[in-house]
Structure 1
Amino acid sequence: MTQVIVGENEGVESALRRFKREVSKAGIFNDLKRIRHHETPVEKYKRKQRLKNRTKRRR
Protein backbone atom coordinates (compact mmCIF):
# COMPACT_ATOMS: atom_id res chain seq x y z
CA MET A 1 0.00 0.00 0.00
CA THR A 2 1.31 3.40 -0.95
CA GLN A 3 1.55 6.06 1.73
CA VAL A 4 2.70 9.66 1.68
CA ILE A 5 3.42 11.55 4.87
CA VAL A 6 2.73 15.26 4.56
CA GLY A 7 5.36 17.48 6.15
CA GLU A 8 4.57 20.52 8.29
CA ASN A 9 5.43 23.11 5.64
CA GLU A 10 4.38 21.01 2.66
CA GLY A 11 1.37 21.90 0.58
CA VAL A 12 -1.41 19.50 -0.28
CA GLU A 13 -0.68 19.82 -4.00
CA SER A 14 2.91 18.68 -3.65
CA ALA A 15 1.86 15.79 -1.40
CA LEU A 16 -0.74 14.74 -3.97
CA ARG A 17 1.90 14.94 -6.71
CA ARG A 18 4.22 12.72 -4.67
CA PHE A 19 1.37 10.27 -4.03
CA LYS A 20 0.57 10.02 -7.75
CA ARG A 21 4.24 9.42 -8.52
CA GLU A 22 4.47 6.64 -5.92
CA VAL A 23 1.29 4.99 -7.23
CA SER A 24 2.58 5.03 -10.80
CA LYS A 25 5.95 3.59 -9.69
CA ALA A 26 4.18 0.79 -7.85
CA GLY A 27 2.14 -0.05 -10.96
CA ILE A 28 -1.18 0.09 -9.15
CA PHE A 29 -3.08 1.72 -12.03
CA ASN A 30 -1.87 -0.88 -14.50
CA ASP A 31 -3.05 -3.65 -12.18
CA LEU A 32 -6.44 -1.99 -11.77
CA LYS A 33 -6.90 -1.65 -15.52
CA ARG A 34 -6.02 -5.30 -16.00
CA ILE A 35 -8.34 -6.48 -13.22
CA ARG A 36 -11.35 -4.36 -14.20
CA HIS A 37 -11.60 -5.80 -17.71
CA HIS A 38 -11.50 -9.43 -18.74
CA GLU A 39 -8.17 -10.40 -20.20
CA THR A 40 -8.24 -13.19 -22.76
CA PRO A 41 -5.50 -15.81 -22.68
CA VAL A 42 -4.02 -14.34 -25.87
CA GLU A 43 -3.86 -10.85 -24.33
CA LYS A 44 -2.29 -12.31 -21.19
CA TYR A 45 0.34 -14.10 -23.28
CA LYS A 46 1.13 -10.95 -25.27
CA ARG A 47 1.42 -8.87 -22.09
CA LYS A 48 3.83 -11.36 -20.56
CA GLN A 49 5.89 -11.45 -23.77
CA ARG A 50 6.14 -7.64 -23.78
CA LEU A 51 7.31 -7.68 -20.17
CA LYS A 52 9.82 -10.40 -20.98
CA ASN A 53 11.20 -8.40 -23.91
CA ARG A 54 11.51 -5.26 -21.78
CA THR A 55 13.52 -7.08 -19.15
CA LYS A 56 15.76 -8.60 -21.82
CA ARG A 57 16.50 -5.17 -23.30
CA ARG A 58 17.49 -3.77 -19.92
CA ARG A 59 20.15 -6.44 -19.39
Structure 2
Amino acid sequence: MVKLRLRDNESVQDAVKRFRKLVEHAGVKKEMRRREYYEKPSDARRRTRLRAVRRARLSNMLNAK
Protein backbone atom coordinates (compact mmCIF):
# COMPACT_ATOMS: atom_id res chain seq x y z
CA MET A 1 0.00 0.00 0.00
CA VAL A 2 1.32 3.40 -0.95
CA LYS A 3 0.92 6.28 1.48
CA LEU A 4 1.72 9.87 0.68
CA ARG A 5 1.67 12.82 3.02
CA LEU A 6 1.83 16.30 1.64
CA ARG A 7 4.91 18.18 2.73
CA ASP A 8 4.85 21.76 3.89
CA ASN A 9 4.61 24.17 0.94
CA GLU A 10 4.50 21.29 -1.57
CA SER A 11 2.57 21.92 -4.74
CA VAL A 12 -0.03 19.47 -5.98
CA GLN A 13 2.02 18.77 -9.11
CA ASP A 14 5.04 17.80 -7.02
CA ALA A 15 2.91 15.58 -4.80
CA VAL A 16 1.39 13.82 -7.83
CA LYS A 17 4.87 13.31 -9.29
CA ARG A 18 6.08 11.81 -6.01
CA PHE A 19 2.96 9.62 -5.80
CA ARG A 20 3.53 8.23 -9.30
CA LYS A 21 7.10 7.34 -8.41
CA LEU A 22 5.97 5.62 -5.21
CA VAL A 23 3.30 3.64 -7.07
CA GLU A 24 5.74 2.55 -9.75
CA HIS A 25 8.41 1.62 -7.20
CA ALA A 26 5.89 -0.45 -5.20
CA GLY A 27 4.90 -2.38 -8.34
CA VAL A 28 1.22 -1.48 -8.13
CA LYS A 29 0.85 -0.72 -11.84
CA LYS A 30 2.59 -3.94 -12.81
CA GLU A 31 0.36 -5.94 -10.48
CA MET A 32 -2.77 -4.24 -11.85
CA ARG A 33 -1.83 -5.11 -15.42
CA ARG A 34 -1.08 -8.70 -14.40
CA ARG A 35 -4.46 -9.10 -12.70
CA GLU A 36 -6.47 -7.31 -15.38
CA TYR A 37 -7.35 -10.61 -17.04
CA TYR A 38 -7.39 -14.13 -15.67
CA GLU A 39 -4.36 -16.15 -16.71
CA LYS A 40 -4.52 -19.90 -16.55
CA PRO A 41 -1.83 -21.44 -14.33
CA SER A 42 -0.47 -23.39 -17.29
CA ASP A 43 -0.09 -20.15 -19.27
CA ALA A 44 1.68 -18.50 -16.35
CA ARG A 45 4.14 -21.40 -16.10
CA ARG A 46 4.68 -21.27 -19.85
CA ARG A 47 5.37 -17.54 -19.74
CA THR A 48 7.88 -17.87 -16.90
CA ARG A 49 9.59 -20.78 -18.64
CA LEU A 50 9.89 -18.83 -21.91
CA ARG A 51 11.27 -15.84 -20.03
CA ALA A 52 13.92 -18.07 -18.42
CA VAL A 53 14.84 -19.54 -21.81
CA ARG A 54 15.23 -16.07 -23.32
CA ARG A 55 17.31 -14.92 -20.36
CA ALA A 56 19.57 -18.00 -20.64
CA ARG A 57 19.95 -17.49 -24.39
CA LEU A 58 20.89 -13.84 -23.88
CA SER A 59 23.45 -14.66 -21.18
CA ASN A 60 24.96 -17.34 -23.41
CA MET A 61 25.28 -14.81 -26.25
CA LEU A 62 26.93 -12.27 -23.96
CA ASN A 63 29.32 -14.82 -22.45
CA ALA A 64 30.33 -16.19 -25.88
CA LYS A 65 31.76 -12.85 -27.02
TM-score in terms of structure 2 length = 0.64
Unaligned stretches of 5+ residues in structure 1: none
1:20 alignment partner in structure 2: 20
Task: State the aligned residue count.
Answer: 52
Runs (4+) off by over 4 Å: none
The percentage of aligned residue pairs carrying the same residue is: 25
In structure 2, what is the equivalent of residue 2 of structure 1? 2
Q: Bigger radius of gyration, 1 or 2?
A: 2
Gaps spanning 5+ residues in structure 2: where?
60-65
**Which residues in structure 2 correspond to 1:1-59 (within 5 Å)?**
1-40=1-40, 41-42=42-43, 44-45=44-45, 46-47=47-48, 50=51
TM-score by length of 1: 0.69
C-alpha distance in structure 2 between counterparts of 1:25 and 1:48, whole Å = 25
